[in-house]
Structure 1
Amino acid sequence: MESFFSNPTLFSEDILNRMHIFAGPWLDYIMLSITTAGSVTFYTLALPILYWCWDRKKALYAGATFLLAMSLNDILKQIINHPRPDPAKLLPGLRELAYRSSPKGPGFPSGHAQGSITFWGTLALMERNWTVTAAALLMIILVPFSRLYLGVHFLGDVIGGLIIGLFCLAVTLPATSITENYYRTVNEAIIISALMIIPYLLYKIMPGDHINSTMGTISGFLIGAFLAKDRIRFNPRNRLRYQLIKIAVGVAGFAIISFGLKRILPDIPIAGYFRYWCIGFWCSFAAPSIFGRIKALRGTVEAI
């Protein structure tokens, strides 16, 4: 492990200096935009919108894979605790970009790289459409590259994130498919109890700066999706104006829960866990239940 992190090709500011393309501010803005499209904020908005307006099953798979991958990423960062590139060793121009991005926490593995391959990889594998596949490949390349361009990750951080993300993709998708095929043979109370207890125990025993938010969201999102499967019937595909209404209602509820509970609850980890549990449950069950009760938003009824 020590020899890996001492590799000058994988973990050296000199490589970042040589890789950087000094093409002007226009490329800086493009790369900052691309890296934003690989942020947690982007996925936090994209996943529920896909669930409400595109395909519940595919969004569920993408959400489960992404959240589990991000939990593993958080745990590995805390265990390995490898620093990010030192801006003082970067060339002028690149140094300013690194300070401007100012990410916090350890660098290995890259969360942007790991998140991009799990999220976009899942969508490409589930949709099996050339347009989606091409867009996914583009994002899987551009998002990690943007982290190198901005000087906030070493090459080894990005490669590690991609490899670990690929592993998560290879394990989580088949496991989710198997679980879906056999969930009807297990008592509902047992499934809900497991989805409540297992993420909570992992949150309590595993290290990580964001483990409470990811585990809380996983628990609430999966319980909501499980309950919604046979109880809520609506077609995510609909006319544009109704899609915009669903997004407005869904995001408004998301914001009310997020900011409302943050103001009401004490600033302690378990309160954060509960807040994110409520957000996950809202996205997969509460918001869809509203859509299913309103004829215009329900569309042509179908099960998940």
Structure 2
Amino acid sequence: MEKIRQILIYLLLLSSITEFIGVLLENTDLAKTASILGKSTFYMLIAILVYTLYSGEKGIFIIGGLGLTGSLDVMLKTILKMPRPPSSEWLIKVEGPGFPSGHAAMSFSFALLAGYATRNPLIALALFIHAFAVSDSRLVLHVHYPIDVVGGAILGVVVALLSVILYICFNNPGKYLVSITIPSLIASIISSIEMPEYTDAPLLTGLSLGALLSGLLIIKTNNEFLYIDRWLFKAISLFTAFTGSVIVFILESINIYPAVLMAGSVFSILVLMSRLIAYEIIKHLGRTQ
């Protein structure tokens, strides 16, 4: 099993190097692929899989850090309202202001968060190479200026470092989640006020609100459900999180502020409570047998 794990890590490193070289050589197809992989939804999906299938505590750490990164990125976008390059030059469709680059912010934040969570230097190296590829892809596709991706990369690293500090200081998953979600919620509310038509603003507000409520609930528990390693438990947890994804897709498609806000809240609660829900279901099944 350990050999398979090492092979997968080396494959990850090799693929990230290939991705970076391709984007550096301005291969448009690879740049588009890197840009797709650099979306916040991709990193959050990985974080959810970590939470439901691997480690509840590490999953909360990564989800919280990504949430704050996304919220601060959108807040800066809506406040500064800095332009992108002319739309006639874009090679893909984008929306919203230019600075800072959300792709750069999320990719660098995820690299540091995942690197710290795994404590594996090869994984961290692969993810940072990927982050550079994602950032460069936004320039190759002419949807950002260099200052946008530099600003995004700095934001991602700073927020990830802050997340590590909070994680160490509180040494409690629930308290960490609450501490990192409060600024996320404030930033999201500011974004909603500054640019209510920007869909990411109400969605992030809902996500932050749901995460805050989940964090308060986790504080009141003994956290046992965060460390269970049974396959039935993981399957129920993953199914619950997947249900949240379906709900957010349906509500977000309505595309009005209350629906998008509710979508974020329901999704966040179902994901972060998925392990607790699985724990209660299994405990109930054990009593009825």
TM-score w.r.t. structure 2 length?
A: 0.73
**1:247-286 matches, cutoff 5 A:** 247-251=238-242, 253-262=243-252, 268-285=256-273
Does structure 2 conserve the Cα–Cα contact (< 8 Å) formed by 1:50 and 1:56? yes
What 5-or-longer segments of structure 2 have no aligned partner? 1-22
Does structure 1 conserve the Cα–Cα contact (< 8 Å) formed by 2:101 and 2:151? yes
**1:131-280 matches, cutoff 5 A:** 131-180=122-171, 203-206=188-191, 207-208=194-195, 209=198, 210-228=200-218, 230=222, 233=225, 235=227, 237=229, 246-251=237-242, 253-262=243-252, 268-280=256-268
* Count, aligned residues: 254
Does structure 1 conserve the Cα–Cα contact (< 8 Å) formed by 2:44 and 2:66? no
Structure 1 residues 195, 138: CA separation in 2 closer, same or farther (over 3 Å shift)? closer
What are the Cα deviations for residues 250-277 of structure 1, in whole angstroms up to 9, with x where unaligned? Answer: 31x12342245457xx754234222211
Amino acid at match of 1:83: P
- Is residue 70 of structure 2 the alignment partner of residue 103 of structure 1? no
Structure 1 residues 129, 196: CA separation in 2 closer, same or farther (over 3 Å shift)? closer
- Is residue 9 of structure 2 the alignment partner of residue 21 of structure 1? no
Does structure 2 conserve the Cα–Cα contact (< 8 Å) formed by 1:232 and 1:288? no
Amino acid at match of 1:292: Y
What 5-or-longer segments of structure 1 have no aligned partner? 1-18, 89-94, 185-190, 299-304
Based on CA coordinates, which of the two structures has the bigger radius of gyration? 1
RMSD: 3.4
Structure 1 residues 262, 235: CA separation in 2 closer, same or farther (over 3 Å shift)? same
Task: Name the CA distance, whole Å, in 2 between partners of 1:32 and 1:61.
Answer: 29
Q: CA deviation at 1:61?
A: 1.5
- Is residue 276 of structure 2 the alignment partner of residue 289 of structure 1? yes
What are the Cα deviations for residues 112-170 of structure 1, in whole angstroms up to 9, with x where unaligned? Answer: 00011112211102221133212222222111111122121111111111112222123
Does structure 2 conserve the Cα–Cα contact (< 8 Å) formed by 1:117 and 1:140? yes
Task: Name the CA distance, whole Å, in 2 between partners of 1:135 and 1:199.
Answer: 28
What are the Cα deviations for residues 180-211 of structure 1, in whole angstroms up to 9, with x where unaligned? Answer: 45978xxxxxx98x999876665444434222
TM-score w.r.t. structure 1 length?
A: 0.70
Structure 1 residues 273, 182: CA separation in 2 closer, same or farther (over 3 Å shift)? closer
Alignment-derived partner of residue 15 in structure 1: none
Task: Name the CA distance, whole Å, in 2 between partners of 1:255 and 1:67.
Answer: 16
- Is residue 41 of structure 2 the alignment partner of residue 41 of structure 1? yes
**Higher helix share goes to which structure?**
2
